[in-house]
A and B are shown apart, each in its own frame.
Chain A
Amino acid sequence: MLTLKSVHTYYGSIHALKGVSLHVRAGEMVTLIGANGAGKSTLVNTICGLIKPRKGKIEFQSKAVEGLSPEAIVRMGIALVPEGRQVFSTLTVEANLEMGAFIHRHNGQQVREDMVRMFDRFPILKERRQQLAGTLSGGEQQMLAISRALMARPQLLVLDEPSMGLAPLVVKEIFKIIQELKQGGKTILLIEQNARAALQIADRGYVLETGKVVLQGEGAMLLEHREVQRAYLGKGAKQIWEA
């Protein structure tokens, strides 16, 4: 569904993505893990059209994506749940959802139906539908951000660090939601620093290190991988001087 071939992206003069190739098949949940500064968010921004890649190809459903505007990319069927949620805090929950359905704004019927569906799925949002988004808790804001993205009826949902800044119990809840979305047939690209949680629910994963993919494989395989365990899961062999 989504294919990246040797993508290079620069942040100013910084070479942030150095020849990244990856793919996501329909119905798959793929995760991208890596430390801070590895280039995860740059990758998201590149896919969603917020930064233009310098080199390489990005294809979505066999159509070239690179160079298109973010809006055109949303229209093609890619929706982003951005890092730090970025809900419109001065707008109500309802208005936030409407914004998510921006590309379907001429189809009021569909937007209303979708909103009902979101409220069924997240009753807490229904309760707070008239509240300003800025007054929601972190977890609620994340649910709102996810629902907002779903309002665009995307083929591919890109989640950028959904666990960031949330309490452990809330993280658990959010990951449960992501897993349910996957079971419902959604195709998901999950960018995470919380490697363990991400690899546990993902079909496959890529490990990004200083802008390069250094490992890739099935989620379960990566979870057991010594290098991943040492670098991202805080496990692994003690150094000689620690023994």
Chain B
Amino acid sequence: MPIWEPEAECISRDELEQLQLERLQATLNRVYRNVSFFRRRFKELNFRPEDDFTELKDLERLPFTTSLDISNSYPYEMFAVPLREVVRVHTSSGTSTNPRVVGYTRQDLRIWSNLVARILSAGGVTQDDVIQVTFGYGLMTGGLGIHYGAERIGASVLPTSVGRTERQIKIMQDFRTTVLVSTPSYTLVIAERMERMKVDPRRLSLKYSICAGEPWTEAMRREIEERLYVKATDNYGVSEVIGPGVAGECLEQNGMHLQEDHFYAEVIDPISGKVLEPGAEGEVVITTLKKEAFPMIRYRTGDLSRIMTERCPCGRTFRRMSRIRGRCDEVVVIKGINIIPERIGDILEQIKGERPIYQLVATRQHHQDQLEIWVEVTEQFFFDKMREQRALVDLMQQKVTNFIGITPRIKLVEKGSLERDGGVVKLFADRREVSHA
């Protein structure tokens, strides 16, 4: 599959670092001059970009920008150019009080389209494709972001936008769609509906499924590929940074290439804020290198991933990030170890092939944190014989220990007894304060 912009995507690491340095310097000089928020932040630290930024690592001295910072600068306070140079405004998804507003200059749009074109190409899209975009076309970045990139490639774009699944399927049949762009869960909704409508996916022209917008799993990928007879790739966007176009998988399907000539990515420990070595999992932090209207310095995405430094066989030299493993706000820390309660469910699910109803409980005994996993007893997880019961609990304990490195106590509890919030079991209960007192 051809690489959209090989001179950029296959650049040597040396050249890339020089480019990042140059672009970052210009970006810092500009935000210091043009954005009062950043100037204030830098001044508090006594950081002058011209004096104090000499190598990429110096970026670590700067504070993070959070989604709250952006909400607080509603609507235009963080723009780095006058509004007359902004040709497009988007807002982000999310549930904070003020939406996060981002702007694009003409040049930003050109760059954005090109970045999306790279990612779509990596996922198999060419000018011969008919691409159906089921993302929302509106204030959010998904729909228009993909749209412009697909047009840039020269594919035929069907801007069907969200919803009306049966109509989506009819269009897919009649317009001979070859690429479906959708959230992974909606892709499966479509597959499901096709089955009910007795539409044979093998009689469609579909070849590729480009998935984004939410964390998903390898199991979901397999299901999408098997049910729709497509090759499915993952890609990553952050609307505060640029929307789709930040990173995308190639057909190797093993991690998403970060567009490192436009974004500088760090992975930090979400609790301490320390930058982690490549390969370690943590929160993704992104700095834009070329954006004009809305440059972003060290934006905490809240997404958990890790950076893979191994060379990809596809020829692109950009490092890859693993699929998003979850959100940081879900992370709990027990015995100094970051645990995502959702992932423990994945482990337990492997044992019996069914996801048990469970809750992580942190307690404290003699000033020491303890992790307990309370599992509700169902037929799958109940045995008449004590011995078998014991064996299951031991197996759970062992699997979880292997995964997180600390040994939990597994406790079987009565069905329906776990604390629920609106009908959903809370995955984590912190009882450390209580048990301490």
Closest to A237 in B: B84
State whether A211 and B50 are in contact (beta carbons under 8 Å apart), knowing that A221-B107, A225-B107, A237-B84 are contacts in the complex. Answer: yes
Is A21 part of the contact surface with B, judged by Cβ < 8 Å?
yes
Bound-complex Cα distance A22 to B22 (A): 6
In the complex, are the beta carbons of A19 and B30 less than 8 A apart? Answer: no
Residue A214 contacts which of B15, B18, B29, B290 (CB distance < 8 angstroms)? Answer: B29
In the complex, are the beta carbons of B18 and A19 less than 8 A apart? Answer: no
Is B417 part of the contact surface with A, judged by Cβ < 8 Å?
no
Bound-complex Cα distance A58 to B436 (A): 60
- In the complex, what's the smallest C-beta–C-beta distance from B212 to chain A, in angstroms? 28
Q: Which residues of A contact B195 (CB under 8 A)?
A: none
In the complex, are the beta carbons of A21 and B21 less than 8 A apart? Answer: yes
Bound-complex Cα distance A178 to B349 (A): 69
In the complex, are the beta carbons of B30 and A21 less than 8 A apart? Answer: no
State whether A6 and B21 are in contact (beta carbons under 8 Å apart), knowing that A226-B85, A237-B84 are contacts in the complex. Answer: yes
Chain A 1-26 near chain B by CB (<8 Å), digits 1 or 0: 00101100000000000111111000
- In the complex, what's the smallest C-beta–C-beta distance from B59 to chain A, in angstroms? 13
- In the complex, what's the smallest C-beta–C-beta distance from B62 to chain A, in angstroms? 15
Residue B54 contacts which of A55, A224, A226, A227 (CB distance < 8 angstroms)? Answer: A55
Chain A 166-196 near chain B by CB (<8 Å), digits 1 or 0: 0000000000000000000000000000000
Within 8 A of B (CB), among A188-237: 206, 209, 211-217, 221, 224-227, 237
Is B51 part of the contact surface with A, judged by Cβ < 8 Å?
yes
Bound-complex Cα distance A22 to B53 (A): 14
Is B214 part of the contact surface with A, judged by Cβ < 8 Å?
no
Interface size on A, residues (CB 8 A): 26
Closest to B32 in A: A212
In the complex, are the beta carbons of A19 and B33 less than 8 A apart? Answer: no
Residue B29 contacts which of A3, A212, A237 (CB distance < 8 angstroms)? Answer: A212
Bound-complex Cα distance A215 to B81 (A): 13
Bound-complex Cα distance A55 to B53 (A): 12
Closest to B33 in A: A214
Closest to A62 in B: B14
Q: Which residues of B contact A225 (CB under 8 A)?
A: 107
Q: Which residues of B contact A56 (CB under 8 A)?
A: 54
Residue A21 contacts which of B15, B18, B107 (CB distance < 8 angstroms)? Answer: B18
Bound-complex Cα distance A3 to B19 (A): 10
Bound-complex Cα distance A224 to B18 (A): 25
Q: Which residues of B contact A55 (CB under 8 A)?
A: 54
Chain A 136-157 near chain B by CB (<8 Å), digits 1 or 0: 0000000000000000000000
Is B207 part of the contact surface with A, judged by Cβ < 8 Å?
no
Bound-complex Cα distance A224 to B55 (A): 30
Interface secondary structure of A, over-half rule = strand
Is B155 part of the contact surface with A, judged by Cβ < 8 Å?
no
Interface secondary structure of B, over-half rule = helix
State whether A6 and B25 are in contact (beta carbons under 8 Å apart), knowing that A19-B50, A221-B107, A226-B85 are contacts in the complex. Answer: yes
Chain B 10-21 near chain A by CB (<8 Å), digits 1 or 0: 000001001101
Q: Which residues of B contact A22 (CB under 8 A)?
A: 22
Bound-complex Cα distance A20 to B51 (A): 10
In the complex, are the beta carbons of B26 and A213 less than 8 A apart? Answer: yes
Residue B25 contacts which of A19, A23, A217, A237 (CB distance < 8 angstroms)? Answer: A19
Bound-complex Cα distance A225 to B110 (A): 12
Is B23 part of the contact surface with A, judged by Cβ < 8 Å?
yes
Within 8 A of B (CB), among A18-45: 18-23
Residue A5 contacts which of B15, B18, B105 (CB distance < 8 angstroms)? Answer: B18
User: Which one of A20, A55, A214 has the greatest number of beta carbons of chain B within 10 Å?
Assistant: A214
Bound-complex Cα distance A213 to B26 (A): 5
In the complex, are the beta carbons of B22 and A18 less than 8 A apart? Answer: no
State whether A216 and B51 are in contact (beta carbons under 8 Å apart), knowing that A5-B18, A221-B107, A237-B84 are contacts in the complex. Answer: no
Q: Which residues of A contact B55 (CB under 8 A)?
A: 5-6
Bound-complex Cα distance A21 to B23 (A): 9
Is B184 part of the contact surface with A, judged by Cβ < 8 Å?
no
In the complex, are the beta carbons of A3 and B18 less than 8 A apart? Answer: yes
Is B145 part of the contact surface with A, judged by Cβ < 8 Å?
no
State whether A216 and B107 are in contact (beta carbons under 8 Å apart), knowing that A18-B50, A19-B51, A19-B54 are contacts in the complex. Answer: no
Is B408 part of the contact surface with A, judged by Cβ < 8 Å?
no
Is B103 part of the contact surface with A, judged by Cβ < 8 Å?
no
Q: Which residues of A contact B30 (CB under 8 A)?
A: 214-215
Residue B22 contacts which of A209, A211, A216, A226 (CB distance < 8 angstroms)? Answer: A216
Q: Which residues of A contact B18 (CB under 8 A)?
A: 3, 5, 21, 23
Q: Which residues of B contact A215 (CB under 8 A)?
A: 26, 30
In the complex, are the beta carbons of A18 and B26 less than 8 A apart? Answer: no
Q: Which residues of A contact B29 (CB under 8 A)?
A: 209, 212-214
Is B49 part of the contact surface with A, judged by Cβ < 8 Å?
yes
Q: List 6 A-B contacts (CB under 8 A).
A: A3-B18, A6-B53, A211-B50, A214-B30, A226-B85, A227-B81
Excluding A21-B25, A206-B22, A216-B23, 11 further A-B contacts by CB distance (< 8 Å) are A5-B18, A5-B54, A18-B50, A19-B50, A21-B22, A22-B22, A55-B54, A213-B22, A217-B290, A224-B107, A226-B85
